[in-house]
Amino acid sequence: MVIVWSVLVALVIMSIPTAIRLGPDMIGKKFVDSHEFQGEMEGFYYTLSTTVLNPIQFEEAREKIIVTDEEIEEHRMRYGNLSDQVMNIQEQYEGRITDAEASGNEQLKETLIKERDTKIADIELNFESDEHVEKKVLAGKVSALKQFLTENQQSARSAFPIAYHLTDVKTGEVFTQGDVEVPAIYKKTFGEVDDYFKANTVISESEYNHYSVSYYDDGYELTAADFANIQQPVRQFEGVIVVSEKALQGSYLKDHLASFNKKKYRNYTLWILSIGALYLLLTKVKFKKEWVTENRFVQSYNGLKIDVKVFIFMFSLLLTFEFIHRDATGAFFYNDYYSGAWPDQLFWLIVLAMSILFLAFQLVNSIERWKQAGVFERDFAESYVVNFLKSFQTMFLNRTLGVQMFILLIGFFLAGFGFAVVAIQPFLILAYLPAVFFLGLPVLYIFVKRSAYLNRIFSSTEKMANGTLHEEIKVKGKSPLAKHARHLNRLREGVQISISEQAKSERLKTELITNVSHDLRTPLTSIITYTDLLKSTHLTDEDRLKYVDIIDKKSARLKTLIEDLFEVSKMASGNLELHRQKVDLTQLLQQALAEHEEEISNSGLDFRVQLPESAIVANVDGQRWWRVLDNLIVNALKYSMSGTRVYLSLDRVGDRAQFVVKNISKYELSENSDELFERFKRADTSRHTDGSGLGLAIAQSIVEMHDGEMEIDIDGDLFKVTVEIPVE
């Protein structure tokens, strides 16, 4: 019942933004009253004015175009000063002239020299004569005007039939199209002084600015001043404009009318349902706190820290308000794209209902729980914040180390704060620089020195944990870190290498046997089964061919598993040799994508690929690096949710190439991304998909052999792989 309550509340909430936003436009309104139809008519009025009733006359307009001194100077200096432009032309022709001379083609050489000298002479004349430049700019602007008029005429046709009969009030000139006496769904009459149809050449000053950007030819713009000069006087017309009922029979208006009615009646349905939901909430389905207190999830939820509860509550609250504030739910009821997407609307209704349900659950549970004496105090005492404060106190158990770390933290905070202040008030750098040299740098030196020693201790400890116990940690000075190093050395002496190595060996052997036996047994069993079936003398040729095809596929599957296993084994033993060469990573990625073009096309996935404009060259084994790209692309094809996007990008970041693959997984992923690098680990835990489970392990090994890094990030169902390697 609590779920029903939350759905009813969500339904009421979802109806609020649509009622506010769409009610005035839909309740009691027809299609011709809609913003969509009115927008179509406004567009028709504009094109009618500028192309039929009051168009720009090209011959008259071209005489009014002017060229300003600024435009002359801009054209002259567009490609740099005189010396830069001459040098650029010479460099363009130098190689071509040399090639023609080397090939013995004297005619081509002379033609290129003449062409070069002509261009250089034209450039020099640009810097000598304003009139020369003015003619070129004027010709370009005239060409741009012609382009504008051509495109304006091309856009004059209306998307649906419209009839009109208009008479110029001043000259009596009549413009007519179609029959204005037919039955109409829309009719606009112009006649009185304030209602005359006003036909402008260009609508407004904003149109000037629009055209000055949109209509140009080879860099020659028509400016706002040009359009102001060619603007003709406004003409006023009386008459009528009609859209006939037959226009609704055309696919354009017919489809838009159907879409409008669908949205209107769908929203009517939503509003009626929300009224019914509100009635039920006030009468039959009133909220009961027992829905929360007797819920089986209460015990699990109460096990969370109070900090986590507060965060979850605030997140749920923000999510709910976001739906209301941004019309996130209502958008699905008035957006054309979702005009028939009831499943999507239902999905967002469920999301909002769950958010409301969780808010109610948390609020009621907290109130009822904290009514008990001492519970709030205990929850607060066990919170992460309180534990952090206790840990902060424990930080000073070794007072020397605690004080040093605290001073370092304060020092870095003040340094960052001082930098921000100097960025706002630069004159304070006179006080900031001495503080940096006499306080900041010494503190930084101490921090780096201690951090380096701590990292060496960490490195040695890691080696000890991995079984390398013959290296003793060097003890320097009498600091707390030196004391810790002595303790670790004592611990090292008590560890037996043989036990550690034996445990590691047993673990690897068990893991290998478990995973390999499962993945090899399945295709092998199929091969044996269908081989036995082939021995039957009663098989038809069709069945025999089918069984042979199955055996062939299972054999290929078995071969792939064994090859991948040997590949991983060679990498693990260090017996794999790389043949490095300079490779264009951009081209290699393009080839890998082309190899899978058919699979990508049939996958139902939308691959979004972002490649750099220039080549990224790295010293890699091309065959092995192809394997990395292929494994990651195949991984995305296999495990991406159908209908989602897959993002692939390659870019240069500093001295490293970064390749990123992002997709939405169709399987639930563990938060521990390191598990996916394990051998035979799959997102498909049921192991029904093809593959050895070694793809990411092989890719990671190849990347590491190239001195690169490979990381996996998981955020819910978002799966992201980042690969970085050094480049030339």
What pLDDT was estimated at residue 644? Answer: 93
Instruction: State the 10-residue block means of pLDDT for the chain, 728 residues long.
Output: 77 74 75 82 85 85 86 87 91 90 90 92 90 88 83 71 90 91 88 81 54 49 76 88 84 78 79 82 76 71 81 81 58 42 68 79 78 80 78 59 66 70 73 70 69 71 68 69 69 59 60 61 79 82 84 77 67 70 90 89 91 90 85 88 93 92 85 52 46 69 87 88 90
The whole-angstrom separation of Cα 572 and Cα 567 is: 9
In a domain, 710, yes or no: yes
* Tokens read off for 7: 């759905």
What pLDDT was estimated at residue 121? Answer: 92
* Tokens read off for 642: 């159908």
Residues 64, 48 share a domain: yes
Q: Decide: helix, strand or coil at residue 564.
A: helix
Residues 238, 176 share a domain: yes
Buried b (16+ CB within 10 A) or exposed e, 589-601: beebbeebeeebe
Alpha helices (runs of H) in 198-305, residue ranges in sequence order: 205-214, 224-230, 251-283, 290-293, 298-302
Q: Among 697, 692, 690, which residue's Cα sits nearest to residue 712?
A: 697
**CATH (domain of 600):** 3.30.565.10
> CB–CB of 169/246 below 8 Å?
no
641: phi then psi, degrees, rounded to nearest 5: -70, 130
What pLDDT was estimated at residue 649? Answer: 93
Residues 173, 82 share a domain: yes
In a domain, 508, yes or no: no
**Which of 560, 593, 617 lies at the terminal end of a domain, its last residue?**
560
Residues 243, 176 share a domain: yes
Which residues, 6 or more positions from 595, have their beta carbon under 8 angstroms from its beta carbon? 630
Question: Which residue has 């004569």 as its token pair?
Answer: 129
What pLDDT was estimated at residue 518? Answer: 57
Residues 258, 237 share a domain: no
> CB–CB of 677/632 below 8 Å?
no
What pLDDT was estimated at residue 344? Answer: 63
Q: Among 600, 594, 616, 624, which residue's Cα sits nearest to residue 701?
A: 624
In a domain, 285, yes or no: yes
Alpha helices (runs of H) in 466-540, residue ranges in sequence order: 480-493, 497-534
Q: What count of Cα atoms within 13 Å lies in the side-chain half-sphere of residue 262?
A: 17
Residues 640, 537 share a domain: no
Q: Among 424, 444, 448, 446, which residue's Cα sits nearest to residue 435?
A: 444
> CB–CB of 635/692 below 8 Å?
no
Q: Which residue range is the domain that position 526 belongs to?
A: 519-560
**Which of 358, 384, 410 lies at the terminal end of a domain, its last residue?**
384
The whole-angstrom separation of Cα 134 and Cα 72 is: 6
Q: Among 187, 191, 194, which residue's Cα sits nearest to residue 164?
A: 187
Question: Which residue has 């979802």 as its token pair?
Answer: 14
Residues 270, 168 share a domain: no
In a domain, 135, yes or no: yes
Residues 419, 471 share a domain: yes
In a domain, 230, yes or no: yes
Residues 122, 63 share a domain: yes
User: What is the dihedral sign for C-alpha 119, 124, 127, 129?
Assistant: negative
Task: Write the DSSP string, 183-226.
Answer: -EEEEEEE-SGGGPEEE-SS--HHHHHHHHHHSEETTEEPPHHH
Class of residue 681 by CB neighbours under 10 A (exposed 0-12, middle 13-18, buried 19+): middle
Distances from the Cα of 142 to the Cα of 61, 77, 187, 632, angstroms: 9, 21, 39, 55
Cβ-defined contacts of 24-30 (< 8 Å, 24+): 26/263, 26/264, 26/267, 26/268, 29/264
The whole-angstrom separation of Cα 53 and Cα 104 is: 63
Amino acid at 706: H
The whole-angstrom separation of Cα 347 and Cα 10 is: 12
Residues 292, 236 share a domain: no
**Which of 228, 249, 270 lies at the terminal end of a domain, its last residue?**
249
Residues 264, 173 share a domain: no
Buried b (16+ CB within 10 A) or exposed e, 574-585: eebeeeeeebeb
Domain count, the chain: 5
What pLDDT was estimated at residue 679? Answer: 44
For residue 664, the surrounding DSSP H or E stretch is strand 656-664
In a domain, 504, yes or no: no
In a domain, 54, yes or no: yes
Residues 95, 133 share a domain: yes
